[in-house]
Amino acid sequence: MSEGVIILLIALAAVIVMTIGGILYGRRHSRTLDGWLVNSRLMGPFLVWFLLGTEIYTAFTFQGLAGYAYVNGAAAYYNVALNDVAYALGFFLLPAFWLLGRRFSHVTQSDFVASRYQSRGLGIFVALATALIMIGYIDLNIEGLGAVVHVISGGSIAGIWPDVLGFVVLGFAVMFGGIRGNAWQSAIKDILMFIAIVTLFFVVPFHFFHGFGPMFQEFHAKLGSRMVMPGIAPKMGILWLVTTVLLTSMGQWMWPQWFGISYTARGPRSLKLQAVFMPLYQLIKWMVIVIGFAAVLLLGYHKKEGNNVVMMLAGHVLPGWMLAVFTVAAVFSAIVPAGPIIMTSAGLLARNVYQKIWPKTSDATTYRLTRSLVLPITFLALVLAELAPALIVVVLLVAYDFIAQLFPTIVIGGLFWKRATKEGALAGILGGWIVAGWLLLTHEDPWHGINAGFVALIVNLILFFGVSLMTRPADSAFLQTFFETVYPKKRRVSSVGSK
């Protein structure tokens, strides 16, 4: 039996142990849909930290970002900037979502939209559409897991089989655990990922270049143009960087799983703490980008190998036992973040589509339906991975072009502008998606140097404001209560009492 197969068996055993541990830890809180999806809003700052981290730092960070730096050079810098901007937004947005979720018993993003706009139809539309968009995000994790299996097996497990194995592991790991079990799995994953990336970050320079100084000197001498904008991707200049950072930072919190994760917290303070300290994770992204640049010098440039470069370098420099730890970390980085994504997709389809269309459906039936949808949703992601294979980051960027179109509806209309209407929200979303789809299908991304999704967002905003001003908003009394939940009126202190 080859060393690669042994390492994969060790990783598989670790996944099984972790899955069983998550089931045992979370099963008491996962007997209802509310417990399975949002832990009955009882999760403390420690577990919320890892849940938020695990959804941002996934197979994309572990493999995709290094691969993107390897293939596109300096364009990879966008990803570090996007999270720094997104965390500032999250400091304000996530506590607001939590307050509204508690006040109006929201469990999903669709609950929020349907409640704010007093429209069951708009809630169903958003639930169905976002559940489909999230399949692309699940595809990202399947591709990442497949890349790990392919490299570690030395190519002996090739073709469709790595992705099939990824589908099986993802589907069953998610089906039998709730959000609380996934939170503890996230803690293990993040610790292992940190150890793995930091180890490779220090080993590569000293093993191949005799230190960081000589490595960066070689970067300067041989990769100079690759490391500055636009580098080897002439269409991805400064304007692309700025518009991509703006689009993706606004889109960051529009993913439906963030609503579920924010609802798990005990209170708004837990969410604010995450936004303050989460930028510490950015150190990992910087290390990964450096590893991607080093791979160009060490492995040569082969565009199709982008997703594999991290595992290939690890295989070259790490001893067997450390490579096993590294592989386990890589596998976990693909499996664990998919948990909330798949659970949210299933919950949206069951609770916010099926149960809303057939209101007599009991909560118990909805819960069973939610769990039964896990495997079909994961299978659709597998089909997508086979029909449209791509670099992991490209999959994510395309998904952001569409998910970011929810920003006007959810943030501007949902938290600030009472005059926004369901008609304006629908017109904006559809208009943004049509423009984004057209630009992507005609290969006009970027469009005159601007991110295609950002162009679509401008069209979205015009339609959102224009149609809203021409249509009738929701009941004013309800809107008053809704917005006062986030912006409570200050109590007036009488002049007598203040003396």
The pLDDT of residue 175 is 67
The β-bridge partners of 265 are 43
* Confidence at residue 432, expressed as pLDDT on a 0 to 100 scale: 96
For residue 127, what are the CA distances in angstroms to 18, 26, 108, 262, 352?
Answer: 30, 26, 9, 17, 6
Instruction: Report the topology of domain 3-391.
Output: Sodium/glucose cotransporter (1.20.1730)
From residue 90, how far is each of 72, 86, 203, 259, 374 by CA, in Å? 29, 6, 35, 11, 28
Extract the tokens encoding 275.
């936004």
Q: Are 263 and 189 in contact (CB under 8 A)?
A: no
pLDDT of residue 44: 63
- Cis peptide leading into 446, omega within 30 of 0? yes
Question: What is the dihedral sign for C-alpha 88, 91, 94, 100?
Answer: negative
* Bridge partners (DSSP) listed for residue 450: 447
Quote the pLDDT of residue 390: 55
Burial of residue 211 (CB within 10 Å: 0-12, 13-18, 19+) is exposed
Q: Is residue 454 within 8 Å of 248, Cβ to Cβ?
A: no
Given this model, what pLDDT does residue 82 score?
A: 87
- Which pLDDT belongs to residue 389? 57
CA distance 413 to 419: 8
Q: Which of 135, 175, 122 is nearest to 353 (CA)?
A: 122
d(CA 434, CA 456): 8
Query: CA-CA distance, 248 to 254, in Å (whole number)?
Result: 10
Cα distance between residue 96 and residue 103, in whole Å: 11
Name residue 399's amino acid.
A
Beta-carbon contacts of residue 495 (< 8 Å; ≥ 6 apart): none
- Contact status, residue 125 vs residue 353, Cβ threshold 8 Å: no
C-alpha span between 249 and 87 (Å, rounded): 8
Packed helices 179-204 and 282-299: angle between N→C axes, nearest 10 degrees: 50
Per residue of the chain (499 residues), give pLDDT as tens: 566 677 777 777 777 777 677 666 655 555 666 655 555 565 666 667 666 666 666 666 767 788 888 888 888 888 888 888 988 898 999 999 999 998 998 888 999 999 999 999 999 999 988 888 887 777 767 777 777 777 776 666 666 776 676 667 667 766 665 666 666 777 788 888 888 889 999 999 999 999 999 999 999 898 888 888 877 777 888 899 999 999 999 998 998 888 877 887 888 888 888 788 888 878 888 898 999 899 889 887 665 566 678 888 888 888 878 888 888 888 777 777 777 778 888 888 888 888 888 888 887 888 888 878 888 887 887 777 666 655 555 666 778 889 999 999 999 999 999 999 999 999 999 999 999 999 988 888 889 899 999 999 999 999 999 999 999 999 999 999 999 998 887 554 444 444 4
The half-sphere exposure of 339 on its side-chain side, counting CA atoms within 13 A, is 34
Distance between CA atoms of residues 369 and 347, nearest Å: 9
Please report, as a single letter, which amino acid is at residue 441: L
d(CA 324, CA 449): 43
Query: Which residues lie across from 447 on neighbouring strands?
Result: 450
Find the distance separating the first CA and the last CA of the chain, reported in whole Å. 84
Q: Would you state the structure tokens that stand for residue 263, as one six-digit string?
A: 């609802």
Query: Among 352, 363, 397, which residue's Cα sits nearest to residue 76?
Result: 397
Answer yes or no: are the C-beta atoms of 455 and 435 closer than 8 Å.
Answer: yes
The pLDDT, as a whole number, for residue 498 is: 45
Distance in angstroms (rounded) separating the CA atoms of residues 89 and 268:
14
Q: What is the pLDDT of residue 492?
A: 47
What letter would DSSP give residue 88? H
- Measured distance CA(154)–CA(157) in Å, rounded: 8
Query: At what angle are helices 422-441 and 452-470 packed, to 10 degrees?
Result: 160
- Residue 43 pairs in a beta bridge with 265
Contact of 353 with 129, CB cutoff 8 Å: no
